Amino acid sequence: MKAGFVLKPKNTIALKEVFLKIKSIFEKKGIDVLLESVSAKAIGLLGVEFDEMCKEVDFLVALGGDGTLISLARRAYKYDKPVLGINAGNLGFLTDINPENIAEFLDKFLKGEYRIDERMVIEIDYQGKKLYAFNDVVISKDVISSMIHIKIDTNESFLNTYHGDGLIISTPTGSTAYNLSAGGPVVYPLTEGFILTPICPHSLTQRPLILPSNFELEAEVKEKTAKLIIDGQEIYDMTSKIKIKKAQKPAKLIHRLERNYFDVLREKLNWGEVK
């Protein structure tokens, strides 16, 4: 069995000791470890090109925070490999395995005592190219002093024209990211649907909306200064219409059997105590 590692891109050198300890544990359990070349270069080790690594391994590992896992899941989407998140900071919504617990987890993992969550992914048709979003697609203005007008059509009919700073189109997984900050709803991550949340809308009647995942959306912006932002990590100029739909296959995340999403919500959002 082989695992392919990607390390948090910021302050990667600080993760070298942690990575080497984890690598040693993986190898003692009989799991070969490959390290992506950019991460390897940052800590002075030999690595493997990302695409080659994804082809060779049985699963992928993100060592960092939720952002590292989201980036890895999106970049490796076409290879259909499950992704494990090892948390290198505070407990995240996605990375629930801590480095000190990795040996215990691998013992269970090798016995098949784990689960794979399948998360909806958004496919974006952008100027003839296919882009993928794990968390969200954001259409945002690029000029501070003005607002933009975003026309949304569905495969059934015209939906709305949003006037304001922008629009978030989120997956259920991404509901606790930018969507939540903008006043959108928390949606259980294993459901499927599009969450449309306007950013600072000009009218107070513009409210978040949840649509079924079998809808196909088309977005057009009148202004030529709009930006298309994928998972907060990839930015494009939005100079033409884009089409948005549910991707054909989900992203796969490896989790502990004991992981409970509502425990994570209570901890991250400071919800009430269990009675």
Residues carrying an active site annotation: 66
Contacts of residue 253, Cβ cutoff 8 Å, sequence gap at least 6: 69, 73, 82, 83, 84, 85, 94, 116, 117, 119
Q: Compute the distance between CA of residue 246 and CA of residue 256 in angstroms, rounded to an integer.
A: 27
Q: Residue written as tokens 């409970």?
A: 260
Question: In terms of Cα–Cα distance, which of 21, 13, 17 is closest to 39?
Answer: 13
Cα-only R_g, the chain: 20
Q: Compute the distance between CA of residue 235 and CA of residue 10 in angstroms, rounded to an integer.
A: 19
Q: Compute the distance between CA of residue 183 and CA of residue 1 in angstroms, rounded to an integer.
A: 43
Q: Which residues pair with 165 in a beta bridge?
A: none
Looking only at the bridges linking them, the beta strands covering 242-246 and 122-126 are: antiparallel
Q: Compute the distance between CA of residue 145 and CA of residue 64 in angstroms, rounded to an integer.
A: 36
Query: Strand locations in the chain, DSSP E?
Result: 2-7, 32-35, 59-64, 83-87, 115-119, 122-126, 129-133, 136-140, 148-154, 158-170, 194-201, 209-211, 217-221, 227-230, 234-237, 242-246, 251-255
Contacts of residue 9, Cβ cutoff 8 Å, sequence gap at least 6: 38, 39, 42, 64, 68, 71
